[in-house]
Amino acid sequence: MPELRHDPIQKRWVIIATERQKRQTWFDQELTLPSTPVCPFCPGNEAMTPPAILTHPENGPWSIRVVPNKYPALAIEGGTDRQGVGLYDRMNGIGAHEVVIETPLHVEHIADMDLAHVEKLFLVYRSRLHDLMQDDRFKYVMIFKNHGAEGGATIAHPHTQIIATPVTPKTVSTELESAREHFRLKERCIFCDMLHDELESGERVVYMSDHFVVLCPYASRFPYETIVLPREHMHDYALASDEVVRDLAHTVQVTLAKLRKAVNDPPFNFLFHTAPNAGHARRRAHYWDTLAYDWHWHMEILPRLTRTAGFEWGTDFYINPTPPEDAADILRRTSIDV
């Protein structure tokens, strides 16, 4: 059983996940993707993964397939069993860890997929998010993608991961608190305010669609980092309409295509920051406090062009050699065929 442990000084949880030691690659210093003789995500090798949670289409050859992670960071069965251990806190590592196999093709960049396929992919993300939020044990659902070896991918076949955790992660909590503080003071959303200022200046705007704005954030940690923000205030991706989800798929595809062309196909991570699960609180007094209506969901796309090292680990202070205004200008002017 994996274990969640709390650091009382950094106020951060970690997952001690011994199951994952079985993965071949943990202590592998090789940075090229392992050339597995047989890819577990390719059609024909479905037996190499646990049984599918969802396939699209439901019958016939699949084009998208969601499976439990074979080496999950968290265990799906059981209770959290929260305990104090002296100065420390622990709980069982309860959660979900799923893999969305994005395409039957072993190598395919999202920028090259049919738009209709990318739309379906983002609808699948929403559907998994919605489904996992029904489980009151899960406080947060993180959807993220690692692209390229430097991006942390250990299998080349395009896939996204979904991890549901029994606590709200620190990064999300910090964002929630900032948004709440701003809202209490001003009765306005901090993301909406930022969006307003950014659209007025325009210097960090990369792209706009019907429902989204893509920005290089003012305090970007990484070169060519972008944030994808809904233009209209909404706190929960699980509640986004089909139209909004389709537009998001298009916007992310455009952004990834620009990034690939402008910065020579970089490794990257993308991730969703959406509202925590209010489900567990529905029957509690602080229900309204947990709903995060004052939050604004968004996606982050983080190219991995710089290496984080001792300074960043010790400070959470990032050194970015590329001003976001320059990055936005280059990405904005990069023409693509999508």
Q: Cite the active site residues.
A: 159
Point out which span in 2-10, 33-41, 205-213, 230-238 binds a second copy (CB under 8 A).
2-10
Binding-site string for a second copy from residue 79 to residue 98, where x marks contact by CB under 8 A and - marks none: ------xxxx----------
Residue 280: partners with Cβ closer than 8 Å, 6 or more residues away: 136, 137, 139
Decide: 51 and 127 in contact? Cβ < 8 Å: no
In the complex, the smallest distance separating the C-beta of residue 161 from a second copy, rounded to whole angstroms, is: 7
Which parts of 99-138 interact with a second copy (CB under 8 A)? none
In the complex, the smallest distance separating the C-beta of residue 10 from a second copy, rounded to whole angstroms, is: 6
Which parts of 171-200 interact with a second copy (CB under 8 A)? 171-172, 174-175, 178-179, 182, 190-191, 193-194, 197
In the complex, the smallest distance separating the C-beta of residue 240 from a second copy, rounded to whole angstroms, is: 18
What tokens were used for 96? 């979900």
Q: Which of 158, 166, 276, 324 binds a second copy (CB under 8 A)?
A: 324
φ and ψ at residue 205, rounded to 5 degrees = -85, 130
In the complex, the smallest distance separating the C-beta of residue 317 from a second copy, rounded to whole angstroms, is: 4
Burial track 85-99 (b if 16+ CB lie within 10 A, e otherwise): eeeeebbbbbbbbbb
Under rule CB under 8 A, residue 219 binds a second copy: yes
The half-sphere exposure of 179 on its side-chain side, counting CA atoms within 13 A, is 25
In the complex, the smallest distance separating the C-beta of residue 243 from a second copy, rounded to whole angstroms, is: 26
Under rule CB under 8 A, residue 323 binds a second copy: yes
Point out which span in 46-54, 60-68, 103-111, 268-276 binds a second copy (CB under 8 A).
268-276
Binding residues for a second copy, total number by CB under 8 A: 90
In the complex, the smallest distance separating the C-beta of residue 105 from a second copy, rounded to whole angstroms, is: 21
Point out which span in 76-84, 242-250, 253-261, 311-319 binds a second copy (CB under 8 A).
311-319
d(Cα 194, Cα 329) in Å, to the nearest integer?
19
Under rule CB under 8 A, residue 24 binds a second copy: no
Q: Strand pairing of 205-208 and 212-215?
A: antiparallel
Question: Looking at beta carbons, which pairs linking 329-336 to residues 24 or more positions away fall under 8 Å?
Answer: 329/203, 330/224, 330/262, 331/206, 331/207, 331/216, 331/224, 331/226, 331/255, 331/258, 331/259, 331/262, 332/205, 332/206, 332/207, 334/258, 334/261, 334/262, 336/111, 336/254, 336/257, 336/258, 336/261
Which parts of 271-300 interact with a second copy (CB under 8 A)? 271-273, 300
d(Cα 124, Cα 97) in Å, to the nearest integer?
15
Under rule CB under 8 A, residue 159 binds a second copy: no
Point out which span in 117-125, 131-139, 147-155, 231-239 binds a second copy (CB under 8 A).
147-155
d(Cα 301, Cα 272) in Å, to the nearest integer?
9
